[in-house]
C-alpha cells in the first residue's frame, strides 16, 4: 500500500504537465472530510492517506505519496439536495434565510449565488419546502463551506488578522498626529476661566 501524507491544495505549485499525468481518485464528501482513509486510485493502487487532523480534501487537491507520485482528487458525484428559490412565490432572499436555518443546525452546505446544496435529509427537505423553496434530488459533487468543518484556511488564520484589521489601527495616526487640537483646547480653557472672573 502506498502512503500519502501530504496534500497540495488545488495542486498549487505543480507543473500543469505533472497534474495532467497524475493518477486520480474519486472521493465523496464523507471521505474527503476525514484526515485518515484508504482509497484506490485510477491506476488500481491502494492508497493509505494520513493527513494532518482537520484537513478537508477538496476536488482538485493533489495527494503526494511517499514515493513522490501524485494523485489528483476528484469530488465524486453523490446524492444531494439542490435548493433553489421559487421565482413565482419567493425571492433570492429565501435562500439566505434557508442557509441561516441550515447553518444553525450545523448542516454542511455548499453555497452558490443561486442555489444551496446539502446531503439528503427528508426532514430538512420538508422544512425547506415549507419555506417556499424548491428542493430537488440530484447526483452531483458536493463541496460544502469549510467553516466549522475543518481548518482548511489555517494558513490565513495564522496571520495576525486582529491588529491589522482593527479600525483603531487606521484611526490612531489621526488622533496622535499633531498636537494642535490639544493646544486649542488648552487656550479654550484659559479664556473660559478669564470670563468667569
CB 79 within 8 A of CB 65: no
Identify the residue with better confidence: 176 or 68: 68
Give the pLDDT of residue 89.
84
Sequence-ordered list of residues with C-beta below 8 angstroms from that of 108, at least 6 positions apart, any chain: 29, 33, 118, 119, 142, 144, 145, 149
Q: How far is the C-alpha of 23 from the C-alpha of 40, rounded, in Å?
A: 10
Using 50, 70 and 90 to split pLDDT, how confident is the model at 57? Answer: very high
Q: Which pLDDT tens digit goes with each residue over 61-96?
A: 999 999 999 999 999 999 999 999 998 888 889 999
Helix or strand run (H / E) with residue 178: none
C-alpha cell at position 54:
482537520
What's the pTM? 0.71
Amino acid at each position: 500500500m502506498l502512503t500519502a501524507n501530504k496534500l497540495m491544495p488545488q495542486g498549487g505549485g505543480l507543473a500543469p504537465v505533472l497534474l495532467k499525468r497524475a493518477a486520480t481518485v474519486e472521493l465523496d464528501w464523507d471521505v474527503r472530510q476525514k484526515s485518515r482513509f484508504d482509497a484506490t486510485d485510477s491506476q488500481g493502487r491502494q492508497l493509505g492517506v494520513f493527513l494532518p487532523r482537520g484537513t478537508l480534501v477538496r476536488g482538485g487537491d493533489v495527494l503526494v505519496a511517499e514515493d513522490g507520485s501524485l494523485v489528483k482528487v476528484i469530488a465524486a458525484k453523490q446524492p444531494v439536495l439542490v435548493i433553489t428559490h421559487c421565482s413565482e412565490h419567493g425571492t433570492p432572499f429565501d435562500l439566505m434565510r434557508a442557509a441561516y436555518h441550515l447553518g444553525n443546525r450545523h448542516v454542511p452546505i455548499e453555497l452558490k449565488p443561486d442555489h444551496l446544496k446539502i446531503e439528503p435529509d427528508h426532514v430538512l427537505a420538508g422544512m425547506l419546502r415549507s419555506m417556499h423553496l424548491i428542493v430537488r434530488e440530484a447526483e452531483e459533487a458536493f463541496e460544502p463551506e469549510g467553516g466549522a468543518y475543518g481548518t482548511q484556511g489555517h494558513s490565513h488564520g495564522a496571520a495576525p488578522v486582529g491588529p491589522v484589521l482593527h479600525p483603531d489601527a487606521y484611526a490612531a495616526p489621526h488622533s496622535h498626529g499633531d498636537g494642535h487640537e490639544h493646544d486649542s483646547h488648552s487656550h479654550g480653557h484659559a479664556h473660559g476661566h478669564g470670563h468667569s472672573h
